[in-house]
Structure 1
Amino acid sequence: MIISWCPTIGVQFNSGSQQSERWLIPIIIFIDEELKYNVIVTLGLFTGLRLGELMGLEWQDIDFDNCRLYVKKESSYVSTKSPYLPDDRKGIIQKELKTTGSYREVSFPTNLKPLLKRYFEHQCRLAVCLGDKWQGTNRLFTTNDGKPMYPYTMTRWFPKFIERHGLPKLTFHGIRHTSATLLIALGVHAKTVSSRLGHSNISTTFNIYGHHLRSHDKVVAEKLDEFIFQQQQKNTV
């Protein structure tokens, strides 16, 4: 199934570098893929979470009533061959976030709630079917036996998905940039964008998205000029 709307419809973008234009690619949600991947990509686009943060989400971090999620930890993979670390710090581990700003609440659209609930019910049915073989984590994103999902799985899967459906090249991290640039193009304040992305301070947001913010600022100036000019014309009639 291809949902017939796209989050960039009606949004005008200014031209930028080739990499910036890549971030602004209209992402179609979603083309006949496994439900788990559907949820990861859609949630990533609407929240701007980093891949490690998405993989670290647990079901208690999802507030269905208020359509909000809480970013508390991230998931990463540490090679089991490392001779310098104890066994409990190898493999897929949950770890604390890097900065205070990374701990945050992020709202998601009400229209996303049915998809998340359907995925939750699917995961519950899978756990019941597997019985004792279910590995019993509370993570949103798991392997088919309930173990935490390898973060690198999405890194490998996403380019293949892009190529399989003839979409312009984009890395999974590009979804985060797409989310941010969409917010800027829609007129969301830079402070709000920075907060949703979990940047340690707003200067980080300006350093990464300064071109897009300046372009939008110019559009705002033109609209203000147009409004004031129209008022002047009415007063002179």
Structure 2
Amino acid sequence: MRYFTPEQSLIFLKSLDMVYETKYGKKEHVVPLQYRVFFTLSIFCGFRKGEILALHWEDIFFDTLEISISKSIGKTERGFGYKKPKTPAAVRKVPFPDRLFSLLEEYRKEYELLRLQLGTEWQGKDNLFIRSDGRLMGHSTAYQYFVKHLKYHNQWVRKYPVQAKAAGIEELPLIPLHGLRHSCATLLNYLNVNIVDISKYLGHTNCSTTMNIYAHSFEAQKRVVSSKLNEFIRANC
């Protein structure tokens, strides 16, 4: 599974706030707020795509800064629809950081304004991630936009290498959307969160599942630790 390193995750989060030129020159590409929320949720909370798509506003607890995961969107006998989470352990409440709180507050205002503007044409059922008429976002829509955004980002880096270097911004690899969940686990490991807490945070049944899936990123982090230790020894011994 391809994923972002912790450094690349930070660059990706920065990229969501940037303004990019389009191929038409004077027009600009700005990441819609809905997608900024979707991708930030993926990086910070490590949710599966189906878990994110299934979110309703009632699942967001602004007072305690938590998000409740109790359902998912996935393949059913009738196509795509609601289903139980992947495992019992996937039913969980996940805390979210202040940055996400601000984004969600901003998005909720935009969402309510759209609902008012559409009036009787609104067809939504309070899903967080929606189409232009309020209906649930399509299953592949977020990934399609994700690919589009990475292309815009990498084109900008190649076109403006001096500005990019000054801002500490580099090209990003094209990874699967599920790779953002993988990136979350890698980031948590980088921050020295213990494996038990990472496992619970991601909704895994046990720690062995987490280790089996993310073993290579954990091994990579061991090399980072070893490198830091070598630097310390050289500087002080």
Question: Same fold, TM exceeding 0.5?
Answer: yes
For residue 67 of structure 1, the aligned residue among 65, 68, 74 is 65
For residue 94 of structure 2, the aligned residue among 93, 103, 106 is 106
Find the counterpart in structure 2 of residue 206 from structure 1: 211
Report deviation, 1:111.
2.2
Distance 2:184 2:216 in 1: 15
Q: TM-score, normalised by structure 1?
A: 0.75
97-106 vs 167-176, greater mean Cα deviation: 167-176
Distance 1:175 1:154 in 2: 12
Q: What SS is found at the alignment partner of 2:130?
A: coil
Q: What SS is found at the alignment partner of 1:93?
A: strand
CA RMSD after TM alignment: 2.4
For residue 28 of structure 1, the aligned residue among 7, 13, 17 is 13
Verify: 1:172 aligned to 2:177, yes or no.
Answer: yes
Give yes or no for contact 2:199–2:210 (8 Å, CA) kept in 1: yes
165-174 vs 42-51, greater mean Cα deviation: 165-174
Report deviation, 1:73.
0.6
User: Cα deviation per residue 1:51-108 (whole Å; 9 max; x = unaligned)?
Assistant: 1100001111111111110111111356xxxxxx5xxx34x41111121111011111
Distance 2:120 2:106 in 1: 23
Distance 2:99 2:211 in 1: 30
Alignment of 1:50-61 (within 5 A): 50-61=48-59
Q: Which residue identity is paired with 2:73?
A: S
Distance 1:200 1:58 in 2: 24
Give yes or no for contact 2:92–2:203 (8 Å, CA) kept in 1: yes
Distance 1:124 1:65 in 2: 19
Q: Which runs of 5+ in 1 are unaligned?
A: 1-18, 79-84
Find the counterpart in structure 2 of residue 15 from structure 1: none
Q: TM-score, normalised by structure 2?
A: 0.75
Report deviation, 1:155.
2.1
Verify: 1:137 aligned to 2:125, yes or no.
Answer: yes
Find the counterpart in structure 2 of residue 82 from structure 1: none
Q: Which runs of 5+ in 2 are unaligned?
A: 19-29, 155-171
Give yes or no for contact 2:59–2:67 (8 Å, CA) kept in 1: yes
Distance 2:57 2:139 in 1: 17
Report deviation, 1:214.
4.3
Distance 1:135 1:76 in 2: 21
Find the counterpart in structure 1 of residue 115 from structure 2: 127
Q: Which residue identity is paired with 1:118?
A: E
For residue 45 of structure 1, the aligned residue among 29, 43, 46 is 43
Q: What SS is found at the alignment partner of 1:199?
A: coil
% identical aligned pairs: 35
Report deviation, 1:210.
2.1
Q: What SS is found at the alignment partner of 1:94?
A: strand
Q: What SS is found at the alignment partner of 2:148?
A: helix
